[in-house]
Structure 1
Amino acid sequence: MGHVDRRLKILISVNAAWNVWNFRRPLVEAMLAAGHEVTILAPEDDTVPRLQAMGCRVRHLKMSVKGLNPLQDYGLQRRFARVFAEQRPDVILSFTIKNNIFGALAAKSARIPFVPNVTGLGTAFLSGGLLRSVAVALYRTAFRNLPVVFFQNEDDRALFLELGLVSQKQAQLLPGSGIDLARFAPAAFPAESTAPVFLMIARLLRDKGVLEYVEAARRVRSDHPEARFQVLGATDAINRTAIDRATVQGWEEEGVIEYLGTVDDVRPAITAAHCVVLPSYREGAPRTLIEAAAMARPVIATDVPGCRTVLDEGRTGFFCDVRSGESLAAACARVLALPHLQRAAMGQAGRAKMEAEFDQAIVVDAYRAALRDVVPNGQLGA
């Protein structure tokens, strides 16, 4: 973050502490290294000790991460207001939908600079109808007159501009959360003699395309019984599109997928895979595809906002149609049809794209500039 002339009190608001640990760590490390005081306001989980060990303060936030409920969420806005009044931060950096909307409304009342990051549009936007209308109205009020609003992909930015929720001047584009290119270093491609492994890393939600992945696995394995389809991620998430553990167990018993559970470090699973797959219905900036490409693996993704940013068709991977197991199976077959050296070359092209466009330093620099602009007399240095 550069040398500072005064220590800023920075509050980071998000809907889960693990989100900061998994996705925002480079940004937090840069702020701490610059001498700022960082408080995480989020529902607590098992990543809290790690965040504290880094040097962050952590304050528990009671909130429901389920869909928008304006009555319930008015209570959340009041909780934000209370915490902001107690903490009096110099600036609030916010991520995730409810924290962005209700945090912005509370911060405006408290006259505290607020910088939201639109990490995705969520179920309310995807479901359409009344819920979408409510979300649009809330965003319009919350984001009015904020100095900067970060977006993780061009599609979301364009949609917010089209709906008049932000102005051209406010709306800035980031390459997702960025990626630590040293931590996610290129991994040697699996040997030609090994059975091909497809890997999906995601929370097990229908919106992530898990059902399409299972259908594709059935189709591909009928022609290529040696192909393996792995799933890594948490089941039973608190989300109305969650898939329960019993369903996953049924797929395992059928022999169609291998369920890897959850891990702290995804790198060994990516290293063992020939291709990483994400058939999601919509993304902000899909972290798992960015990590896979950084580790020089070809990727398959749906041709939807977020995923489009990460994949170059035919060069770093293949697109498939959204909500189509048949189209996903065809993309997997295309990967299987490639000579071994060509698959590896596709992974290398993905790595080159990540180096050029997704380095975490780009994100840290953008936040450094934003803080300099929004904090009065911030003196944030270079």
Structure 2
Amino acid sequence: MKIIHSADWQLGKPFARFAPTVRAALTEARFDAIDTIGAAAAQAGVQHVLVAGDVFDTEGPEDRTIVQALSRMNRHACRWWLLPGNHDFARNGGLWDRVRSRAGAGVRVLTDAAPVEIEPGVWILPAPLIHRHTLNDPTHAFEQMQTPGATLRIGLAHGSIRDFGSQMESQNQIAPDRAQRANLDYLALGDWHGALRVNSRTWYSGTPETDRFHSAETGHVLMVDIQPGQEPTVTPLRTGRFTWLVRDWLTNDLPAFTIECDQFLAQTDPSTTLLQLSLAGIASMSDRIAILGRLENDIDHRLRYLDVRADDLVGRPSPDDMAALAMEGVLGAAATSLEARIAQGGQDAATAKRALERLFIEYNREDTV
């Protein structure tokens, strides 16, 4: 029995921090991922796709979001099993009633904590969330669920196996040995956005389309081959279009930056890359201006998105820079005074550095007019 395990589609995610063109591209990619999953299922002969919660980003998405999702799923011959998660939890008269009213025969919503036989002897044991947060283990009922004649028991749940770095009390926490306790052949989990092996029978699939920086192993679904009495074979399949990268570059001059920049462009697809770039180093003022100019006037236009953090790239005028400024009378005197304040250190040094940089920028701007 092969299934595709997915989760955390979060359709309708607003991506409010981005410009409209970027938001539109990221939104469309999340819907396109449904087609990618459906095509992968057809190629592998998989009949069932299990989505372990957070299909939608909220429990009140727009009708357009619901219709777009269902129309994508209905294009494919596989059956889609959708579980409410903490973002799209189940409530009477809510989202999932709206989904059911529009869904075709190939889309099944699992809002009841009751086992469902999807093939002869193959049962899904769902743990839908009916609230955003619960202090109880949503999979506890698996141990009492009866599955007559079962050859395979597959759990489907949404929650945390561990505290993923949060200092808050863990919510929707699932026992790490639930698969063993409930005699599950496989436990398909959602909530963690990266593909993650908890144990041989328990996995997070992660989100099929990356949606944030600092996320590892995202942009995948899991192809799971489950045989009675054997450990499942789990194979990640790449589904994501966009790559979200975080880079820290140490650079002290324009030539070194140019090499780093050209190598990065050669190794990526700029049109599908979102980059958060932190720069550090000590460069001449003219080099710092040129570096930031390359990023603003070239790289930013090539990439899907660029976020530059350059506070740690310190720009100081070179002797040649200062000599050129010294020829400018009042400007030269101001630059010399600011240099002295920087050398003295103290609370005014950072302000003086920024003022000197601005002075040099304006000087160069006038020089090029």
TM-score, normalisation: structure 2: 0.32
- Structure exhibiting the larger radius of gyration computed from Cα positions: 2
Larger relative contact order (C-alpha < 8 A, sep ≥ 6)? 1
Structure with the bigger percentage of strand: 2
